[in-house]
Amino acid sequence: MAVSSLLLCLCFGALVKCAAGSDWCYTGCEHTPAHWKDISGTFCGEKRQSPIDIVTSDVKTDQNLHNFTFANFSSENVIKSIKIDKHTVKCILEENEVEVSGGGLDGTYSTIQFHLHWGDTEHHPGSEHTIDKHRYPMEMHIVSLKKGMQDPVNDPEGIAVLGFFINATEDGDMSGPWSNLTSYLKNTAGTVDFNHTISIDDLIGNVDRTKFYRYMGSLTTPNCNEAVVWTVFQEPININKNLIQNFPMKTGISNVFRPTQNTNGRQVFASPATTLPSSHWCYDDHCHFSPSKWQLLPQSYCGGELQSPINIDTRNTLKDNHLKEFTYTKFDEKHAIKYITNTGEAVKCVLKEDLLEVSGGGLGHVYSTLQFHFHWGSRSPDSEGSEHTVDSHRYPMEMHIVNKRKDLSLEDAIKTPNGLAVLGFFIEMMLFPTHAGYENVFRPAQALNNRKIFTSASSAPGPIQLFLLLGCLCALSYNLHL
């Protein structure tokens, strides 16, 4: 396929397939991402696919990843037109005007277009790549073809894509280049001329382009050709959240991103300027700081004497008549949940501020309810994933309702021994590992270290009995999913 034909049909990241037509989609048709591999002539089931989750603890620094040279990225007249289809919004550039080289690339690449990927709403992000399983609201792909190559789509390094995460801010500029760009969005497929003077540099803003990740991958839409040298920049572009919302709202399309693919042993590298964090934690062994090493995390209390969760040995509990009934304020409010987010480590429901409260139960203070989240095991039918155990029995799931003292700020609460109060409920349900996409998100039981466990005067019915562990009221956890 010649470069001239690529300019007509190659829409990297929102590829309108030349070979297989357009019988693919993100949702609502036979060939959703899980079935792209079944489309004749595609490479979507191969071993060098994109996007991926970049696990920063596994990234290696490559001293040869020097700075890029960007030619005409500052030109305000290179965007020729904007094309909107059912897969993306794509800005087509003037031919032979924009180039990129350096940055460890083997040669000079001619930039032909950039396009975007996004999710659904403010709380359902849609970047394609993820960093330590964190997904940004959007991702921009700047697509370039290797100069002098007749068939770049079939060459292992024929295409260079620069990926920029886009982050949502509360108070970003509503009148700048991104505002001008989103003014072209509409719920109608087609191509229109671009009449504003905006440069690629204007859109990228002050992102540090010396900090980036590098790996070898593929197009992220059919035909999924494994021909891409991927550059994913560490710092995101920050734009107003309302401008991000314009993409799904004005175009009428949402969740236009491919799920992350298996790395299959591929190594991800970082430029020398990229700071590789040493403090990312996880529940399994996909990162360095698994639960057995959490105590090594910077500024961590995970090696302390009052850690949670624990095994509750009912034979050694003490009845405390001061543990009276709780008072729950607005817990029956059906519109209390502000939004739900999948953090990559938990599913968290954030509540409306200053609405729900809990007191009594021996707490000694009134607590404002902030959020609740869940811990679970695997997809196995007999999976057990609660954090606390009772007489060494682990339940399928556990819900934590997190509260802070009403008279304290959150910053002060996490520094105060009784600043936080967590209500834990065991759950007999196992849908979360299937729908969330990850599993075994619970910390193993920790040593009791001579702490006493008290029970309320009356026992709760069913499989749940409320145990008040004084250590649970302490803000000693390195991360409470706050």
Size (the chain), residues: 482
3-270 folds as: Carbonic Anhydrase II (3.10.200)
Please enumerate in sequence order all residues whose Cβ is within 8 A of that of 256, keeping only pairs 6 or more positions apart, or say none: 14, 26, 87, 88, 117, 118, 126
Q: How confident is the model at residue 295 (pLDDT cuts 50, 70, 90)?
A: confident
Tell me what the mean pLDDT of segment 418-445 comes to: 82
Tell me which of 215-229, 359-373, 401-415, 447-461 is least confident. Answer: 447-461
Q: Could you tell me the two tokens for 453?
A: 């466990």
Boundaries of every domain in the chain:
3-270, 298-473
- Residue-wise pLDDT for 85-97, tens only, equals 999 999 999 999 9
pLDDT score of 298 = 66
Per-residue pLDDT reduced to its tens digit, 243-253: 999 999 999 99
pLDDT tens digits for 403-414? 999 999 998 999
Across residues 283-301, what is the average pLDDT?
79
Give the least confident one: 80-94, 193-207, 256-270, 419-433: 419-433
* Domains 3-270 and 298-473 alike in fold: yes
Task: Determine the pLDDT at residue 299.
Answer: 67
Of the candidate ranges 6-15, 97-106, 111-120, 126-135, the one whose mean pLDDT is the lowest: 6-15
Examine the pLDDT at 162 and tell me if it is beyond 60.
yes
pLDDT reported for residue 165: 98
Output the pLDDT for position 278: 61
Confidence (pLDDT) at 285: 72
Round to whole Å and give the CA distance between 377 and 436: 11
- Bridge-partner residues for 190, per DSSP? 84
Separation CA 100–CA 164 (nearest Å)? 15
Q: Which CATH class is domain 298-473?
A: alpha beta
pLDDT in tens, 52-65: 999 988 899 999 99
**270, 212 Cβ separation under 8 angstroms:** yes
19 pLDDT band (50/70/90 cuts)?
very low
Say yes or no to pLDDT of 177 above 90.
yes
The whole-number average pLDDT for the span 120-126 is 83
For residue 431, pLDDT over 80 is answered with no
Between residues 454 and 158, the one the model is more confident about: 158
Cα–Cα distance measured from residue 396 to residue 437, given in angstroms and rounded to the nearest whole number: 16
Take residue 81 and report the two structure tokens written for it.
């037109």
Residue 468: pLDDT band by 50, 70, 90 thresholds? very low
How confident is the model at residue 474, as a pLDDT?
A: 34
Q: Is 87 in the active site?
A: yes
Check 31, 35, 66, 87 and give the catalytic one.
Answer: 87
User: Can you read off the two tokens belonging to residue 29?
Assistant: 């048709």
| pLDDT recorded at residue 94 | 98
Report in angstroms the alpha-carbon separations of 393 from 272, 291, 388.
48, 20, 9
Q: 325-360 pLDDT, tens per residue? A: 999 999 999 999 999 988 778 889 999 999 999 999
